[in-house]
Structure 1
Amino acid sequence: MADVITPMMQQYQRLRGSVPPDVLLLFRLGDFYELFFEDAKEAAGLLNVALTKRNRVPMCGVPYHAAQNYIAKLIKAGKRVAICDQTSEPQPGRIVTRDITQIISAGTVSELGLLEAKRSNYLGAIYEHESASPARTFFGFAYADLTTGEFRLMQLNTQEALADELARVGPSEILVSEEQCERFAVIEHALAHDSYAFLPEQATFTLCEHFKTKSLDGFGCAEMPAAIGAAGAIIHYLKHQLRRKIDHLSSLRCESANDHVVLDAATQTNLDLVESRGARDTSLLGVLDRTVTPMGGRKLRSWILQPLRDLNKLNCRQQIIADLLHESDLLGSLRSAFKSIRDIERAAGRLSQVSGNARDLVTLKSSLQRIPELKRELGKLTERIEFGKDIGTPPRDALN
């Protein structure tokens, strides 16, 4: 065995021991990412690459320039992947220093090629909390999209309501307390995480430390221990297990069932709201979606799954649609301007996580340069609406 433990292999074993056992470690060697031992045996079958041996050590590798395609296959197979990159230049007689730069999971993918442009990619967490006075059981649900910085939480009274919200949000990965794994065994994409991270006291500390606040009163969730437990577990998981930079998760939104019409899981499925059961896309989203930006597509999906309850907001939304349809020339100009705007949310999210590149900077530059044009076109719409009011034009029916 002594001939196997080279300085490079010692470095590998040290880094391998620093990540969870179920994570596959891609170890950068020159122009390849290599996997060794049990990681190699498992990955070779999933990636359909040759499993070889060197000094009796099982190994397999994938080219560095094509790594994203192979990582995508591993993520789709339900695996988590740690990326170990070289952090120094090769020098004669010295081993190259390496470090784990990121750990990728289904709920934390940031590469645009691995994501659906018009669908959010959520990391979720659920937690069951029993209150002593009065004696009640609450279910906390929190979810975050690491690519856009969206971070929300809610507290529910029944497990059925939790199942409905899980169906609506559709997280790619769901954190569950190790102590509650059996209770939530039927939930897909569940991943056990440290139980103490879910404890309301610990979670409150984690969230306050992250947001640099003394309490959670300002977020409106101070009296929601189950929801706090779920949200705190997400921050703990991202920071301590995945070693992610998450400064862009700068706010926390508390959701209430009173704000929207609640659609249970059966309704979402049977009405084909966002997905159809047939081969063709005959869902309501497929019929309505004429958005020209990824951000618009994600927003429309959210609107369909969370219909508004507030009549004033509904009327305002319908009125602006009616105004745009009436001013067809301005609508055409706006659509033309939007077509030049890329995914600003995800470009900014990648840059804030230090996983962005020059392409993301160009995306931000070219997209932000179109904002003044959009403002001018929207200004024209406002002027025409105000002009119509001044001359006494009868109000148009918002539903026409």
Structure 2
Amino acid sequence: MSEKKNTPMMEQYLSIKEEYPDTILFYRMGDFYEMFSKDAEEAASILEIALTSRNKNDADPIPMCGVPFRAADTYIAKLIENGRKVAVCEQVEDAAAAKGLVKREVVRVITPGMILNESLLDKTSNNYLLALNSVRDTAGLACLDISTGSFRTCQVPKNSSQFPPSLLDEAVKLDPKEVLLPAHFEGDPQYRQVRQALSGRQITYLPKMEFHVEDARERLAQKFKTRSLEGFGIEEMPASISAAGAVLSYVRDTQLTDTLHIFQITPYDLSSYLKIDDRSCRNLELLANIQTLDKKGSLISVLDRTVTAMGGRMIKNWIRHPLVDRKKIEERLDAVEELMGASHILALIVNHLKSVYDLERLGSRISMGQGNARDLLALRTSLEKLPGIFKELALFKAPLLNGTGLEDRDRMTEELTGLARLIKAAIREDAVHVLNEGNIINDGYSPELDEILAISRDGRSWIAKTESQEKKKTGLSSLKIKYNKVFGYFIEVSKAQSASVPDHYIRKQTLVNAERFITQDMKEVESTILNAQEKRSALEYQIFCSVRDEVVKKAVFILKMARFIARIDTLQGLAVAAAENNYVKPEINDSQAVSIEEGRHPVVEKLIKGERYVPNSIEMDNETNQLLIITGPNMAGKSTVLRQVALTVLMAQTGSFVPAKKASICLIDRIFTRVGALDNLSSGQSTFMVEMEETANIVNNATENSLVILDEIGRGTSTYDGMSIAWAVAEFLHDLDDKGVKTLFATHYHELTRLEELKPRIKNFNIAVKEFNDNIVFLRRLVKGGTNKSYGIQVARLAGVPDAIVRCAKHVLSGIETGNTHPADLPAPPEPSPPPKRKTRKKRVSDPGQMELFEHGNPDLKEMLAGADISNMTPLQALNFLNEMKQKVLN
């Protein structure tokens, strides 16, 4: 039996698919992208679309599915979200002019790290493609956001067979959407921690040769048209060169076009930034609320007052990469201060910025040939705002604001405003997004186009005039001139009048109620009209491409300007946040001290309702107050105090004002946190194991310039084991390298307060509470001295634990405290006495006795107190409320 022969179209499809085996091939056929065989089965399942078949009557039909090309972005996004890659195969010649099968080629491969379409991207987050590799005694990282042109790299020493944790921390911090690794990383146990750190992300393993240093060096030099990489500062960074070369190779193989917007590679040093690992980022809720994973309730939700997408990405990067360079921090703080001092100018700048679109992504998309007319209009609108922005910024002294550090600022501004004028002259305000259907170029821009438009318009007017004339000549009242794609222009006459048509009418079609005719003159005019329309569309596309080419020539200027505008937007956002939230400018000191007067938690203070936020002061240094042990009951506010100190330091080193009455902050090199853990069951890790891993990370990597936040370590195991570990960790951090490390240590192990007597730089503090008849009120105030009570039973009562359990717990605690150490040896707790019968009292003007605030026998009073909004009462309302309470007690 002879083997079944494929059609020419299927042969073409299979040959293209063979070149892109790890993708789903979107094969363009007219107005649809079609998928076949396994691609169709996989795509139909993911996209939830109908799976049909080609050649249904064959013994072995080919599975097939398709999506409309105008809606393709939505379907591509869903495939990308499900970890697939999509190869887009277009018709690269006109079907009408093709002889035989239309030529098709893959024009780009879309992967999670190679997305340009704005609708598929998060506007406030970079979409990084990241590569990692190690070369001899170094390890390197390179990250590219192709949608903005940002291309950066860093390298660290590799002192052992283990991949450097600091580089893995940075890789996770960048949150890449796709990772490139050498093929040998896939199964090698040596790189298990790399795979684990990046799990959940799309990992693409490339042949080792793609990471070869010399080949990568040549690839980079060719890309940037340089003889060496010295000008970029990476000539002596082999691991960086290796990773960056792999990135460029992947871009070349997937984008299949020039990437002129990637015009430089920027090295950076991890030691230039305050280190805060991903776990601490989550613990401090820098970018997301730890409970819901939403932006609301996070630090960025408070600080991000940017109005452009570029600024939104930059503030996120600043929060994740605080500075450790005092001069650079103070430059940011000075800029924020100057903006706050000129609120009227700040308002004008914000108003200009609101009209600026995403210049980074517009410039990148246009430079890669994927921009349409609407993108050019958005670019024009943005560039027209530059003169107004620079006019306002010229009034400031801060270098970060007035653009004195912006290379070729005046030339760039002139070139880009000229580009805006070109776009305004050429592109219609109502231009459509489809490029090959005309209606995108302004009248008057091109004489040749104007001539074609005149012919087209004259032809249409000829048709209208001809209809009127033919009616008069023939006397046929039902005569109309119509158009369809089959016949072009034709004359339609009702059936009743069809016998009276002139002899030169040529019958074309007979309908039930009408007859259709053509004339020779009409066909000649039709040819002129249709040719003019076709010529118009082709010429408009040609003119559009010439305008777009001018934009491409200025792509580097656009991207440099975009980054400057992003910085201005980020700084104004910090100024607005500071003004709205009553923040102060922190002082950056060299005395190794952290002094915060009446500090507040930037997020909690905005979320609490029904009570006033209680500020707290903190003094820490390396001489007398280095390790603060903080005791107090749960819910009293220990964790809030710990977090607000860490956030205040981080905000200051970001360049932000801080929530305090006054603050002086020394430079911190790293913030460590251990503030609660969840069981990591999927990895077989208990809460205690996670606790100990975090603690090990701290004690192994903290320095005298670090800040450590410890919240309840050791509670995941037995009391004595936990207390012993907590004690030992506190001593270790105090004695570290004979210098110690600044530490805030919250604990329920009151035994640790004895360390103040044993170690000179340990001090005790507690969160104050007020006791009322075996109940407590949280005062939220941090005061000196330790406490020997946990108030756990009182907190249980506040939480709604039944009274029977509370009584039993008090009874067990009393027995243990008196020496009966096992609850089983204790007698049963006594039953509560019945409440005394209330005596009838006569109404009195005043009652000399003290009213019990937490009287158990008066649920109405409790309900009144629970529902009272004391913070918003006027003095008169408060007096009336007290009087009402008194009446309830006395009646």
- TM-score under structure 2 length normalisation: 0.42
Q: How does 1:205-224 map to 2 (within 5 A)?
A: 205-224=218-237
Distance in 2 of aligned mates of 1:398 and 1:261: 19
**Structure 2 residue 18 is the aligned partner of structure 1 residue 13:** no
Aligned-pair distance for 1:185? Answer: 3.1
Q: Map residues 19-30 of structure 1 onto 2, 5 A cutoff.
A: 19=20, 21-30=21-30
User: Which of residues 104, 114, 117 in structure 1 aligns to 2:120?
Assistant: 114
Contact 1:163–1:265 (CA under 8 A) maintained in structure 2: no
Aligned partner of 1:306 among 318, 321, 338: 321
- The answer to whether the 8 Å contact 1:238/1:244 transfers is no
Pairing of 1:263-302 with structure 2 (within 5 A): 263-279=276-292, 280=294, 281-302=296-317
Q: Aligned equivalents of 2:374 and 2:170: distance in 1?
A: 35
Distance 1:273 1:101 in 2: 40
Checking the alignment, whether the CA contact within 8 Å between 1:260 and 1:309 is kept in structure 2 is yes
Shift of 1:208: 1.1
How far has the Cα of 1:256 moved from its partner? 0.5
Q: In 2, Cα distance between the equivalents of 1:120 and 1:240?
A: 21
Give the counterpart letter for 1:221 in structure 2.
I
Give unmatched runs, 5+ long, in structure 1: 131-135, 387-396
SS at match of 1:151: strand
Post-superposition Cα deviations, 1:305-363, rounded to whole Å, max 9, x if no partner, equal 11111111111111111111111111111111100000011000001111111121111
8 Å contact from structure 2 (residues 107, 255) kept in 1:
no
Q: 2:109 is aligned with what amino acid?
A: I
Contact 2:90 2:107 in 1 (8 A): yes
In structure 1, how many angstroms separate the alpha carbons of the residues matched to 2:213 and 2:185?
15
Contact 1:139 1:155 in 2 (8 A): yes
Which amino acid counterpart does residue 37 of structure 1 have in structure 2? S
Partner in structure 1 of residue 609 of structure 2: none
**What is the DSSP-based 3-state SS (H/G/I as helix, E as strand, rest coil) of the residue aligned with 2:322?**
coil
2:249 to 232, 236, 243: 236
CA distance, structure 2, for counterparts of residue 246 and residue 150 of structure 1: 12
SS in 2 for 1:59: strand
SS at match of 2:155: strand
User: Does residue 154 in structure 1 map to residue 154 in structure 2?
Assistant: yes
SS of the residue corresponding to residue 214 of structure 1 reads: coil
Deviation, 1:167, is 1.8
Q: Distance in 1 between matches of 2:257 and 2:112?
A: 14
C-alpha distance after superposition, 1:216-271 (max 9, x if no partner): 12211122211111000000111134424222211011110222112222222211
Letter of the aligned partner of 1:322 in structure 2? E
1:267-290 per-position Cα deviation (integer Å, ceiling 9, x unaligned): 222111122222242111111111
> Is 1:356 paired with 2:371?
yes
Partner Cα separation in structure 2 for residue 241 and residue 179 of structure 1: 22
CA distance in 1, matches of 2:279, 2:257: 36
Q: Which residue of 2 aligns with 1:170?
A: 175
- Change in Cα spacing, 1:267 to 1:247, as seen in structure 2 (3 Å) is same
Partners in 1 of 2:281 and 2:258 — Cα distance?
Answer: 35
1:249 maps to: 262
**Could you tell me which amino acid in structure 1 is paired with residue 11 of structure 2?**
Q
Closer/same/farther in 2, CA of residues 382 and 216 from structure 1, 3 Å limit? closer
Q: Distance in 1 between matches of 2:364 and 2:254?
A: 19
Q: Distance in 2 between matches of 1:228 and 1:103?
A: 24
Paired residue for 1:389? none
What is the CA-CA distance between 1:159 and the residue it aligns to? 2.6
Equivalent in 79, 102, 110 of residue 108 of structure 2:
102
C-alpha distance in 2 between matches for 1:318 and 1:331: 15
Which position in structure 2 is the counterpart of 1:36?
36
CA shift, 1:380, in A, is 3.2
Q: Which residue of 1 aligns with 2:63?
A: 58
| Partner-residue secondary structure (3-state), 2:195 | coil
Deviates more, 1:301-310 or 1:215-224: 215-224
CA distance in 2, matches of 1:45, 1:89: 33
1:124 maps to 2:134: no
Task: Tell me which moved more, 264-273 or 318-327.
Answer: 264-273
- Residue 380 of structure 1 is matched in structure 2 by 395
- Counterpart for residue 577 of structure 2: none
Q: Is 1:328 the equivalent of 2:328?
A: no
- C-alpha deviation, 1:122, in angstroms: 0.6
Q: In structure 2, what is the Cα distance between the partners aligned to 1:208 and 1:112? A: 30
Amino acid at match of 2:77: A
Equivalent pair of 1:4/1:57 in contact (CA under 8 Å): no
Code of the residue aligned with 1:303 in structure 2: it is W
Identity across aligned pairs (percent)?
Answer: 36
Q: 1:87 aligns with which of 86, 92, 95?
A: 92
Tell me by how many angstroms 1:31 deviates. 1.1
Counterpart in the other structure of 2:273:
260
State the partner residue of 2:212: 199
TM-score (norm 1): 0.91
Alpha carbons 2:339, 2:346 under 8 Å: kept: yes
Shift of 1:18: 1.7
**C-alpha contact 2:108 2:254 (8 A) present in aligned 1:** no
Q: Is the 8 A contact 2:110 2:254 kept in 1?
A: no
Shift of 1:298: 0.7
Of 185, 206, 209 in structure 1, the residue corresponding to residue 195 of structure 2 is: 185
Q: Report the AA paired with residue 82 of structure 1.
A: A
Cα deviation for residue 113 of structure 1 reads: 0.4
1:290 and 1:351 map into 2 onto residues whose CA distance is 28
**Count, aligned residues:** 382
- Specify the alignment match of 2:612 in structure 1: none
Distance in 2 (CA, whole Å) between partners of 1:381 and 1:217 is 35
Distance 1:366 1:260 in 2: 36
- Secondary structure of 2:26's counterpart equals strand
Greater displacement, 143-152 / 205-214: 205-214
Distance 2:39 2:310 in 1: 37
User: Unaligned regions of 5+ residues in structure 2, if any?
Assistant: 56-60, 158-162, 403-583, 587-656, 658-891
Distance in 2, Cα, partners of 1:256 & 1:89:
51
Q: Given residue 26 of structure 2, which amino acid in structure 1 is its aligned partner?
A: L
What SS does structure 1 have at the residue aligned with 2:34?
strand
Maintained 8 Å contact 1:139/1:159: yes
2:371 is paired with a residue of what secondary structure?
Answer: coil
Question: Cα–Cα, structure 1 residues 257 and 185, in superposed 2: closer, same or farther, change >3 Å?
Answer: closer
Letter in 2 for 1:219: F
1:365 Cα deviation after fit = 0.6
Deviation digits for residues 71-110 of structure 1 (CA, Å, limit 9, x no counterpart): 0000100111000111122238622221111110101100
Look up the SS of the partner of 1:185 in the other structure. Answer: helix
Alpha-carbon separation, structure 1, partners of 2:94 and 2:203: 40
**Structure 2 counterpart of 1:291, which letter?**
T
- Secondary structure in 2 matching 1:215: coil
Whole-angstrom distance in 2 between the partners of 1:4 and 1:32: 25
Task: Determine the C-alpha separation between the residues in 2 that align with 1:361 and 1:229.
Answer: 36
Following superposition, the deviation at residue 212 of structure 1 comes to: 1.4
CA contact (8 A) 1:123 1:145 kept: yes
